[in-house]
Amino acid sequence: MITVKALRAIRRADLVFVPVAAPGRPSAAESVIRAHADVEAVPVVFPMTRDAAKRGAALRGQLEELRPRWEEAVSVVLPVIGDSALYATAAYFYDVWKAIDPSMELELIPGVSAHSLSASRAGRFLALGDEVFSVVPGTAGREAVALALKNCDAAALYKPSALGEELRSVVESAGPWGEILRTDRAGLPEERLVEGIAALSCPDEYLSTLLLWRRSR
């Protein structure tokens, strides 16, 4: 899935960067755009670390190395999966780049959020009427996640794998839940949907979203 506006921006761009987790690793974002546009994609490695200094140094080094490419470009795009304004690691890339080149201008093109995509693939409505819907990162830690889940009617838990073996106990402590659903790699060829208690088994997939509802369908 890709929006028309994003596709137009990619096709017009002078340079297309694509995020990868490690050198030589495939890019999920690139696999999506390849289905719609034939463009040269330049990989940028996004370190999977929460250490801001290490992450910044790694991104800065790559930007300096790629300087001859982007200095000649009027428009550069970085396609990402999900919504560009929500938990997007591209924000770190932008901050580092802006420090190198203060004249650059940012345009965010809205994408399809993971929770909207997951719910749509499962044929579920996320929230209705006056229901409170929360988006919660599993990386926030056990107590913060449990507290957020207790105060909503429906929720999307991003990166549930970050909670490891504690996932089930954290979710159940905030229950009861009428429906539980987890999507792994939603919208991609390897997509998998897991329902009920089985969805609370610790997923080893980074691209997972856990959806929770107080109500039952």
Rounded to two decimals, the pTM is: 0.88
Domain 114-213: CATH superfamily, name plus number? Tetrapyrrole methylase, C-terminal domain (3.30.950.10)
- Give yes or no for a contact between 151 and 175, defined as CB atoms under 8 angstroms apart: no
Domain 4-100: CATH superfamily, name plus number? Tetrapyrrole methylase, N-terminal domain (3.40.1010.10)
Categorize the per-residue pLDDT at 195 as very low, low, confident or very high, splitting at 50, 70 and 90: very high
Average of pLDDT values for 181-210? 90
Q: What's the pLDDT score for residue 189?
A: 84
Say how many residues make up the chain.
217
Alpha helices in the chain, H assignment, sequence order: 4-12, 28-34, 52-65, 67-71, 90-100, 114-122, 142-150, 167-173
- Give yes or no for a contact between 161 and 208, defined as CB atoms under 8 angstroms apart: yes
Q: What's the pLDDT score for residue 34?
A: 86
> What residue ranges do the domains of the chain occupy?
4-100, 114-213
Secondary element (H or E) of residue 161: none
The mean pLDDT value of the chain amounts to: 93
